[in-house]
Structure 1
Amino acid sequence: MSWDVNKKTTHFGYREVPVSEKANLVGEVFRSVAPKYDLMNDLMSLGLHRLWKRMTISEASLRPGDRVLDVASGTGDLAKAFAKIVGKRGKVIMTDINEAMLSVGRDRLADQGIIGNVDCVQADAENLPFADNYFDCATIAFGLRNVTNKHAALASLYRVLKPGGRLLILEFSHPTLPLINTLYDLYSFHVIPKLGEIITRDRGSYQYLVESIRMHPDQETLKAMMLEAGFEDVDYLNLSGGIVALHKGFKY
């Protein structure tokens, strides 16, 4: 289950590409979709992504004064909610490897007056530029599947968390019922790319997004990866029949 440091290729959707090229290819996808990212999220998930994120916010169990790291923060939905909970004494750092996405998120939060306790840092999840044992909570929502070396990202997240800190991973996963899986496949491969073509004039990026979901580890595999990274009390909650899963683990 360990990442092979000598591995020369990795998956980009269903394609095998050189490891050195994946980050740039993913970057191109998100530079393309950034301007209409929120609209497409609402359309693709029929608004359900808002409920999934509310569950993540609840499970984070934050308190005033906490330090929170939101990795692959995108347009800042979680960061916005976290900033309100931790208050002036707390701190939220939103990161994304993609400057276009981070810029959209930063501008969005600034427009809503949420700037005092939120910092934006362009960063790679595999090598987070933060001190050891610093954050009370770390989250990554719909971003881990785009990371080239997921083992390195999990190790990096573990390092920056305080003892007693917790990691939450919200990600598309594998439906648990055959009927849901069949319907989900039909919707994913026939509707989502077409929506991308109509709304963003970019079918290819949404074809990749659909394929990247299918290539992401299933619930039990991701749980095992978190345990391997050092997290304890790891568990997950299937949402919408397993279309999405919320994994949670602790650093002790």
Structure 2
Amino acid sequence: MSDTNGPSEAVTATDSTTTEQTHFGFKQVDKTQKASLVANVFDSVAAKYDVMNDLMSMGIHRLWKRYTIDCSGVRTGHKVLDIAGGTGDLTAKFSRMVGPTGSVTLADINLSMLKVGRDKLRDQGLVSNIDYVQADAEALPFPDNSFDVVTMAFGLRNVTEKQNALNSIHRVLKPGGRLLVLEFSKPASEHLSKIYDMYSFHILPKMGQLVANDEESYRYLAESIRMHPDQETLKGMFEQAGFEQCTYTNLTGGIVALHRGYKF
């Protein structure tokens, strides 16, 4: 399995000009290009996103999200921010949990995903307490101390500067608020890693081609998982952003981990 602790960015010099680079899957690209490259991926997969999630995970993603919701502590009257909320799986549940006195903001940097989420939630009759905001996780357009709970499911690995995103989330959380990040991570056993690699690089892209007519985007998604910080590294990034009582729980053998941190 690829080293998840490998360098996420590098500095290269061409003549007298220094260009900062980062990873886009296994490729190195200019930092200024990554957001648009990721946007192209999600523009391509938005229409089939929910179908592919069910197929890729054999439905297990619903259990991962259910566990995240159970750990959220969301209750009536809370203000919740669902960053990279995509098609709104978490937002839908939170909308019902916070009730008419609370609110949920579904935020996503990708307009295509945001539109799919909005249409899906409106079809479910969820209208009154949900706001939709196109927003960059690295520079959230909300006042300080705005939200009781912030969640981010399967979005952090696509952010160019993950530490900036965690810093921004910490700023908009209220004192006493909590952050939950559900993300693909590093399997706990070498045997599971080998099976997961075979699935990710041989089966997943072909599935993307057959269902979404897009092999390349799903190859990127597999690569982006391998380049994402492992559990302990991400926990350290939480702490660097100012979060306390930081913990994580491995799910499905560490293929996915739920990270939690609190702002005090």
CA distance in 1, matches of 2:189, 2:23: 26
| SS in structure 2 at match of 1:73 | coil
Quote the residue 1:205 is aligned against.
217
1:222 equivalent in alignment to 2:234: yes
CA–CA distance in structure 2, aligned partners of residues 224 and 94 of structure 1: 27
3-state SS in 2 of match to 1:89 = coil
d(CA) in 1 for partners of 2:229 and 2:148? 26
Query: Take 1:2 and 1:174, find their aligned partners in 2: how far apart are those partners?
Result: 16
Shift of residue 178 of structure 1?
Answer: 1.0
Whether the aligned pair in 2 keeps the contact of 1:68 and 1:136 (CA below 8 Å) is yes
CA distance in 2: counterparts of 1:58 and 1:230, whole angstroms: 24
Whether the 8 Å contact between 2:9 and 2:20 is mirrored in structure 1 is no
Match of 1:27 among 23, 39, 42: 39
C-alpha RMSD of the superposition: 1.5
Give the Cα–Cα distance (whole angstroms) in 1 for the partners of residues 103 and 27 of structure 2: 39
Match of 2:78 in 1: 66
* Match status 1:193 vs 2:193: no
Match of 1:145 among 146, 153, 157: 157
2:14 corresponds to which residue? none
8 A Cα contact 2:10 2:22, kept in partner: no
38, 45, 51: which one aligns with 1:39: 51
For 2:177, which of 160, 165, 169 is the aligned residue? 165
Structure 1 position 2, deviation (Å): 11
Instruction: Give per-residue Cα distances to partners, 1:3-57, cap 9 Å, x unaligned.
Output: 9998611000000000000000000000000000000000000100000000000
TM-score by length of 1: 0.98
- Pair 175,2 (structure 1): closer, same or farther in 2 beyond 3 Å: closer
Output the amino acid matched with 1:247: H
User: Is the Cα contact below 8 Å between 2:105 and 2:130 reproduced in 1?
Assistant: yes
Deviations 1:46-90 (A, max 9, x none): 100000000000000111000000000000000000000000000
**Structure 1 stretches lacking a partner, 5+ long:** none
Percentage identity across paired residues of the two chains: 60
Map Cα deviations across residues 193-243 of structure 1 (whole Å, 9 max, x no partner): 000000111100000000000000000000000000000000000000000
Equivalent residue runs for 1:108-123 within 5 Å = 108-123=120-135
CA contact (8 A) 1:3 1:149 kept: no
Q: Is the 8 A contact 2:155 2:183 kept in 1?
A: yes
Q: Which residue of 1 aligns with 2:66?
A: 54
Q: Which runs of 4+ in 1 moved over 3 A?
A: 1-7
Determine if contact 2:8/2:227 at 8 Å carries over to the other structure.
no
> 1: distance between equivalents of 2:67 and 2:19?
36
Unpaired segments of 5 or more residues in structure 2?
1-6, 12-17
Distance (whole Å) between structure 2 residues aligned to residue 143 and residue 63 of structure 1? 24
Aligned residue-pair number: 252
What TM-score do you get using the length of structure 2 for normalisation? 0.93
The 8 Å contact of residues 76 and 94 in structure 1, kept in 2 or not, is answered as yes
